[in-house]
Structure 1
C-alpha cells in the first residue's frame, strides 16, 4: 500500500474505487490523526450523553401515544387494531425504510449534521400529531416521526465505534441505550402528570392554533424541546475521524455503497440471519410490554391513566435503565475474557431470562405481584438495544457500519414494532373479541417471540465467532 492511499481523508474515502474481490478485503486502522476532541475522554462521553438525550426525546415522542390510548380512540373513533397501526406500523414503516438511504449518507457525509436535522424533523412531526383530527392525519404524522428518528441510531452507532475501543464499546452503547428507557419512563410520567393536571379540562386554547384536547396539548409539550437540542448538537459536536476503514488487496478503500453493504451481509449470511431475526423477536417482546402494558393495567385492574403512567414510568426508569447499563457491562465483561461473541452471548442470556416474567405478569390476579414481575421483565427487555448494536459494530468495517445497522433496524422494526404490537391487537380483536383479554394476547406474543429469539441467538453465537475469525484472517 502506498503512502498516498494511507493519507486519504476520512471524508474522501467513500469515493475511491471499490475492491474487485470483496471477500479478500481486510480491515485496518488508517493512521488518521484524531483531533484533540476525538481523543478526550470527557468529550467522547459528552457525545454519547448528548446523543442519549436525543434518544430520550425520541422515545418520549414515540411512546407517549400508548398512555393516551383511551382518549385518542374516543376522539378519533378508533379500534384497537387501528390504534396499533398508529403505534406500530405507522411509526415503523418510515423509521425502517428511511433508515437505509439516511444510513448511506451517514457512511459518506457528516453524521452529526444528519442527526441534528433528524432531531428537528421528528420533534416538529410529534407536535403535528397534536393537530390530528382523524386517523389518516395521525397516521401521516406518525410516519413523519418515524422518518426523522431513522436518522439517529445508525449514525450514532457509526460514530461511537470511532470514539471508543472495542473493550469499552459495550458501556458506551449501554449508556446510549438507557435513553430509550428514560424516554419511555418520562413519556408515562409526563403523560400521566398532564392528564391528571388537566383531567377536569375539556380543552385548552393556544394562540394561532385554537382549541386543543388534553392529549393534543401533550404532543406539543413533548415535541418542541427537540428543536433546541438539534441546535445544541450542531453547535457543540464535531464529526469524529473515521477509523477501521476496510481496504482491498490492491490497497484501495472499499466504497461505502449499498451494494458493498449487501455483499458484506451475504458474506456472513448465517451470522446476520441469526442476529437480525433473533434480536428482532427479542425486541418484539420489549415493544409488546411498552406498547400494551398501560392498556392491560387500565383495563384489567381499573387504574386510570395518571396512576398507570406514574407506576410504569417509575418501573421503566429504574428497571430498564439498570438493565441497559448491566447489559453494556456484561458485554465488556465477556469481551475482556476473550469471548468474541460477547454481544450475541449477552443477548441470548437476556432473552432466555425475559420469557417467564413477560408471560406471567398478565396471568396473576395480585396487582403488586404483577408489578414485581413486569419489573423483572423490563430489566431483561433492555438487552437487545446495546447487544445488537455492539455485535454489528464489532464485526462491520467503518464505511459500512451505518448501512448495516440501518438494514438491521429495517428488519427489526418491521418485525418487532410493526408486526409485534399489531399481533397483540389482532389476537385481542379477532380471537378473544374482548378488549379485556389484552393481557392474554401479550403473553401469547411474548411466549412465541421469546422461544424463537433464544433459539436463533444461541445458534448465532457460533456463527458470529466464525465471522469474527474470518475478518481477522482476511
Structure 2
C-alpha cells in the first residue's frame, strides 16, 4: 500500500502532523460500528437475563459467572496473543477475523438449550471480542494526530453506550415479540456481514506515521516489531500506566457489576416489563453514556494540553460526583424515579475510559500500541468484568435468605465502596503524573 511506504525516518526533525489521514473519518465510523456490535453482543446476556433465567433455570450467581468471570478469563487472556499478533501484522485483518468469530459465537448463544452450552458459546464470544478493541485503538491513533486522538477515541468509545442502548431496545423488543434466541441470532448475522465490509472500507495505516520523532531514536522505523517481553516489561515498569489500568479496573467493578444486573433489577424489583425496558432504559443508557464519553474525550483533549494530571483528575472528580446519584438510584422506590437518578451515573461513570485509553496510546511507542492497549484491557477487564458481575450475582443470592424481595438492591449497595477505591487510585495517578515523568514521545504534555 502507498501509505505503508511512508518512512518515519524521513520525518526526522519535522513537526508532528496536525491533520488526520485521508479516510480517517470513514475508518473511525466503521471501527465504531464494529465496537457497537462488540458491546451489543456482550450486553445481550444482561439485557435478556430474565427470559434466559425463565427458559434455562439459571441462578443470579450463574448469570454473574457467565457474564463476568467465565467471559473475562477468555476475553482477557486471549487479548494478549492477539495484541502481539496485531502489533506484528495487519491490524484491520485481525479485527475483521475477530468480528467474524464473536458474531458466529453470538449466533451459537441463541441456539444453546442448556446452561453449559450457553457457557461455551459465551466463552467463544470472549475469544473473538479479545481481538476487537486493542487493534482499533492503535488504528485510530495512527489515523489521527496527537491533540485530536482524545476526541477520536472518545467518539470511538461511544460504541459501548450506543451498543448498550441498541441492545436494550432491539434485544428487549425482539424478545418480547418473538424470543430471546432470535435476538442473539440476528445480531450475530449482522456482525458477520460487518466483518466483510470492514476489509473493503478501511485501509491499514502506517504505524506512527503522524507522530513526532521519538526520544528513543533507536527504533525510528514505523515497521519496527516490538517484542512481547519488551512491551510487557515497559508497561509494568511505568507507574502511570499501571495505575491507569488499576483505577479503570476498579471503576469497571461498578460499571459491569451494575450493567449486568440493571435490567434484571428493574424488572424483578422495580416492576418494569420488557417493553418499558426497551424504551425508557434504552434512552437513559443511550443519552447518559454517550454524552459522558463524548464530553470526556473533548475535555481530555482540552485539559491535558495544560497538564497531564487531567488524565487522572477528570475521572476522580466525576466518580465522586456519581456516588450520590448511584445510591439514590438503588434506593428509589419506583422505576421512573430510579431511571431519573440513573442518568447521573451513566453520564459520570465513564470519564475514566477515554482518559485511560488516550493516556496509554499517547505514552507508548507506535509499535507497542496494540499490545499496550491489550494489557490495559487485560487488567481492566480481569478486575472489572471478571469480578463485578460475579460479585453482584453471588451477593444477590447470599442476601436472598434475609431479603427475599430485594436481594439485588442489597447487592448493588455493596458496590459503593469500590467508587472510593477507584477515586483513590486516580488521585494517586494524578500525583505520579504531576511529577513530570517524561513521555517517550517528543512533544508530550507537561505536568
Q: How does 1:147-158 map to 2 (within 5 A)?
A: 147-158=127-138
| Residue 259 (structure 2) aligned to one of 272, 275, 290 | 290
- 8 Å CA contact retained: 1:347, 1:388: no
CA drift at 1:295:
1.1
- 8 Å CA contact retained: 1:345, 1:457: yes
User: In the alignment, what sits opposite 2:10?
Assistant: 31
User: In the alignment, what sits opposite 2:15?
Assistant: none
User: In the alignment, what sits opposite 1:272?
Assistant: 241
Residue 160 to residue 470, structure 1, CA distance change in 2 (3 Å):
closer
Residue 229 to residue 405, structure 1, CA distance change in 2 (3 Å):
same
Q: Normalised by the size of structure 2, how large is the TM-score?
A: 0.90
User: In the alignment, what sits opposite 1:347?
Assistant: 315
**Residue 367 of structure 1 pairs with residue 335 of structure 2:** yes
Task: State the secondary structure of the residue aligned to 1:303.
Answer: coil
**Residue 221 of structure 1 pairs with residue 190 of structure 2:** no
- 8 Å CA contact retained: 1:67, 1:305: no
| Residue 444 (structure 1) aligned to one of 402, 414, 430 | 414
**Residue 192 of structure 1 pairs with residue 172 of structure 2:** yes
| Residue 72 (structure 2) aligned to one of 69, 92, 104 | 92
Q: Deviations over 1:95-118 (max 9, x none)?
A: 111110000011110000011111
Q: How does 1:27-426 map to 2 (within 5 A)?
A: 30-31=9-10, 43-198=23-178, 214-243=179-208, 244=211, 248=216, 255-268=225-238, 270-336=239-305, 338-426=306-394
Alignment partners' CA distance in 2, 1:328 and 1:247: 26
Alignment partners' CA distance in 2, 1:99 and 1:183: 21
Residue 252 to residue 177, structure 1, CA distance change in 2 (3 Å):
closer
CA drift at 1:257:
1.3
Q: Which moved more, 1:82-91 or 1:241-250?
A: 241-250
Q: Normalised by the size of structure 1, how large is the TM-score?
A: 0.85
Q: Deviations over 1:254-292 (max 9, x none)?
A: 741111112212331x22332111111112222123211
CA drift at 1:10:
6.5
Residue 432 to residue 246, structure 1, CA distance change in 2 (3 Å):
farther
Alignment partners' CA distance in 2, 1:190 and 1:470: 44
Kindly tell me the number of residue pairs found equivalent between the two proteins. Answer: 429
CA drift at 1:325:
0.5
Alignment partners' CA distance in 1, 2:133 and 2:433: 22
Alignment partners' CA distance in 1, 2:368 and 2:52: 41
RMSD of equivalent CA atoms: 2.4
- Greater gyration radius: 1
Alignment partners' CA distance in 2, 1:148 and 1:428: 30
Q: Deviations over 1:148-168 (max 9, x none)?
A: 111111111111111222211
CA drift at 1:456:
0.4
Residue 113 to residue 69, structure 1, CA distance change in 2 (3 Å):
same
Alignment partners' CA distance in 1, 2:321 and 2:338: 17
Alignment partners' CA distance in 2, 1:276 and 1:456: 10
Alignment partners' CA distance in 2, 1:11 and 1:426: 54
Alignment partners' CA distance in 2, 1:118 and 1:11: 26
Residue 247 to residue 139, structure 1, CA distance change in 2 (3 Å):
farther
Gaps of 5+ in 2: 13-17
| Residue 430 (structure 1) aligned to one of 381, 398, 402 | 398
Q: Deviations over 1:106-137 (max 9, x none)?
A: 11100000111111111111000011111111
